[in-house]
Each structure stands twice: as C-alpha cells, then as structure tokens.
Amino acid sequence: QVQLVQSGAEVKKPGSSVKVSCKASGGTFSSYAISWVRQAPGQGLEWMGGIIPIFGTANYAQKFQGRVTITADESTSTAYMELSSLRSEDTAVYYCARAPRVGAATLRYFDYWGQGTLVTVSS
C-alpha cells in the first residue's frame, strides 16, 4: 500500500522559511518522481516543482524559481520542499504527489498524494 505521509502544520512569520517533508512507503522510491502542489484557501491547485530522487535534480515552476528548493533523501525515502521569503499569500495547504515512471520517462500525472500540510504565514 503506497503512502505519502507529510509533516505537520506550521505557523511562520513573514520573511521566514518553511520546510515540509514527505515520507514515502509501500513502493520503490527510485521508480517515481515527487512533485509539490499547493492550494491556497478556497483556491485551486498549483504545481510548484518536482524531483526525480534517483537523479536528485529538481525543476521548478517559473513562479517559484529562486524561492523554493526541493530535495530528496533516498536513504529515508523522504522528499522535502523548502519555501523561503514567506509572505501572507503563501498561506496554503502543501501537498506532495507521486508521478509514476516507466523506464526513463516520467508519466505526467499524480497517482498518490500526501495528506497535505497547512502552512500559515502570519505576523
């Protein structure tokens, strides 16, 4: 049974950083990619970026370039998303999501999702 379990809710001050973790179980970490998707209150889904753990190279949505860092630790099957220079508009639920890989190709959809982590940015 595939599971993605995320770290708990965070409350942060504007200008600070937050790091959210996503621990995978029930599958082979190296056989898929992990993305991060956020959802502001009452809003839609927004892709932030992703990583293929066996390669370790992340790619990011243009909107978040320079402010987000996605990493992965194969030894613990855990992915991380760090967002810096937080502002009130970053208040959202952050999800990690798994994209399957077949051979060298990453299938461009998300078959399993974490439970979400609420990040609240407030002074």
Residues engaged in binding another protein (CB under 8 A): 35, 37, 44-47, 50, 59, 61-62, 95, 97, 107-116
Which residues contact residue 69 at a Cβ distance below 8 angstroms, ignoring those fewer than 6 apart?
A: 58, 81, 82, 84
15 by DSSP, 3-state: which?
A: coil
Residue 97 and residue 38: Cα distance in Å, rounded?
10
The residue (of 18 and 97) whose beta carbon lies closer to another protein is 97
The residue (of 20 and 97) whose beta carbon lies closer to another protein is 97
Minimum CB distance to another protein, residue 75 (Å) = 26
Minimum CB distance to another protein, residue 123 (Å) = 26
Residue 80 and residue 22: Cα distance in Å, rounded?
6
The residue (of 64 and 80) whose beta carbon lies closer to another protein is 64
